[in-house]
Structure 1
Amino acid sequence: MSLEPATSGAVRWRSIRGPMEVALFAKQIPIGTRRFAEHVLRGDKMTITRVTEKYIELTGQGGEAVPKESNSRIRFSQPYMVAADTRRPGIYAITLTTQVGDELADWTILGKVRGDAVYWLRNLAGSGTVKDEDDVLQYAVKGTGGEILENVWNIQEERREAIQNSEVKTSRKQVSLSLSFEEEEEEDTADVQIRMRPIKRLKRVQKKEKEKEKEQGNAVTEISTTVPESIPPTEQAEKHLQGVAEDASATPTDPTLEKLRKFQESLRQPSRSAKKPPTHNITEEGIDGLSSEDEDLGFLSHRWNK
């Protein structure tokens, strides 16, 4: 009949070789089992670095050393027991035999391995592994994660509270920073407004100025093109013609142009039907009883009538 107490907590550590479940004596060893469970939760930072003939050394990063906690009913009564070093933080051992001797005398027993993990642990301690004179593995067994199967410590709840507290702290920091920035902005508003001007605002101002210039130009053109209503267009035309006539009368006329004008007027007049009485002498008459001047005038009137 075994006098060993029942386990009251369990964790699972995952590695590149496979998972390893450990049943813990949480009621008898509360502090040591709690710290081991916290290391298992950060399982990606745990590794198996050393393998001897009697035990396998498991190393975790961070944390504090486990205090010496003993119970008369908990002993190295079987292989694959898990113990913690009371002098170095994050150092754990998995026994391979019951004859560990004085090497683990000052260590605190935390629990025992259960399940199929004993097979790959045994193969790891066999002759196929490569290690140096101090039993340190050339290729360490790295962890990939971990989880708590039987949570009797409320570790995750406390971690959630810590996360919430950290979020509240960060939000407070952000609020204080925003307040400080707002105060600085209030102090430097005048300088900023004088020194710099946004590009979009400049573009808007330039557009408004161009529109104003266009409106002013259109107004000027409308004023220049419009005719005053007080003076009708007919009066303007009469005044213009009068000015042209005055200019024409003032300018001296050319005698050749005057002769041509008179000749044109004579051609426009109708021909005379009655013949002028001869004013010349009989001696100046022609063969038919007409003078040379009369012949010329008759010829011209005949041509004009045609």
Structure 2
Amino acid sequence: MSLEPATSGAVRWRSIRGPMEVALFAKQIPNGTRTFAEHVMHGDQMTITRVTEKYIELTASGGQIIPKESNSRIRFSKPYMVAADTTKPGRYAITLTTQVGDELADWTILGKVRGDAVYWLRNLAGSGTVKDEDGVLQYAVKGIGGEILENVWNIQEEKQEAIHNTEVKTARKQVLLSFDEDEEEDATDVQIRMRPIKKVKRAQKKEREEKDKPVTKTTTTVPETVLPAGNAQERLQDSAVDAPTSHTDPTLEKLRKFQEGSTG
């Protein structure tokens, strides 16, 4: 029969190697587990920097020093327990064995790793990992995010925007231009609407084409009215009759006689 208390809080840290879920003893260790949960929420600032034969060291930026909290029922009774350093803020350890009493004697046990994360943690501690004599990794395992799975601390989670190369459409406000000295305008509400560069260039190109286009003059030709043959003959006779005749001009006399003969 296990004397270890049940967990009452869980978080997930996501790294470049894969996710790692940790079940925490929130009721027994309230302060330490809360600080760890807040660090996991900013998982991109957490990194695995060191691996020894007994534990994996995980560091986070910011935060406060976790005070020493202990419970007689919580011990390093199995591998993959998560503990916090009580002398340095943002320093945690994931045990790989139960023989860690001396190195982590003053640390506070926060919880234990659950799920498939134990497999990539075990591979990280294998012989293929490049590290120096002190266990410092040549290529640190960086975090890419994190979230709280069981929020028993009532921590206000920050809303993070997902990155999907999508454009966020916001309402544009019209700009009120005024030269009155009495009117005051709030500068924070002013957004100047500018035409897109492509549209401006397209309009400028169209203006240049209109200027360079040669101007062609168009002339309108009015067709001459053609009178019927009968009307033309009558008009010709009328003009001949109305025209003043001269007895001295033989050409006009001949034209008159010819017209009289044709009509007769």
Report deviation, 1:158.
Answer: 9.3
SS of alignment partner, residue 37 of structure 1: helix
Q: Is the 8 A contact 2:81 2:112 kept in 1?
A: yes
Does the 8 Å contact 2:8/2:152 carry over to 1? Answer: yes
Match of 2:136 in 1: 136
Q: Deviations over 1:233-260 (max 9, x none)?
A: xxxxxxxxxxxxxxxxxxxxxxxxxxxx
Q: 1:113 matched to which residue of 2?
A: 113
Write the deviation string for residues 91-122 of structure 1: whole angstroms up to 9, x where unpaired: 00000000013100000000000000000000
Say yes or no: does 1:92 pair with 2:92: yes
| Number of equivalences | 164
| Partner amino acid, structure 1, of 2:111 | G
**Percentage identity across paired residues of the two chains:** 89
Contact preservation (8 Å) 2:43, 2:143: yes
More relative contact order in 1 or in 2 (CA 8 Å, sep 6+)? Answer: 2
Q: Which position in structure 1 is the counterpart of 2:29?
A: 29
Partner SS state of residue 155, structure 1: coil
Q: 1:158 to 1:67 in 2, by over 3 A?
A: farther
Match for residue 45 of structure 1?
Answer: 45
Mark the CA change 1:134 to 1:155 in structure 2 (over 3 Å): closer, same or farther: same
Aligned to 2:18: 18
Between the aligned partners of 2:157 and 2:7, the Cα distance in structure 1 is 22
TM value normalised by structure 2: 0.60
Amino acid at match of 2:81: M
Cα distance, 1:133 vs. partner?
Answer: 1.4
RMSD across aligned C-alpha pairs, in angstroms? 2.0
Structure showing greater radius of gyration is 1
Q: Mapping of 1:168-187 within 5 angstroms?
A: none
Deviation of 1:157 after TM superposition, in Å, equals 6.1
Which amino acid letter does the alignment assign opposite residue 24 of structure 1?
L
Q: 1:66 to 1:53 in 2, by over 3 A?
A: same
Indicate yes or no: 2:51 matched with 1:80. Answer: no
Q: Secondary structure at the match of 2:121?
A: helix
Q: List runs of 5+ in structure 2 lacking aligned partners.
A: 160-181, 186-264
**Alpha-carbon shift at residue 73 of structure 1 (Å):** 0.2
Match of 2:237 in 1: none
- Gapped regions of structure 1 (runs ≥ 5): 160-181, 186-306
Compute the displacement of 1:134 (Å).
1.2
**2:53 maps to amino acid:** E
Give the Å deviation of 1:89.
0.1
Distance of aligned partners of 1:111 and 1:133 in 2 relative to their CA distance in 1, 3 Å threshold? same
Mapped partners of 1:136, 1:110: distance in 2: 23
Matches within 5 A, 1:228-243: none
- For 1:268, the equivalent position in structure 2 comes to none
Matches within 5 A, 1:290-301: none
State the Cα deviation string for residues 112-144 of structure 1 (Å, max 9, x = none).
Answer: 000000000000000000001111000000000
What is the TM-score normalised by the length of structure 1? 0.52
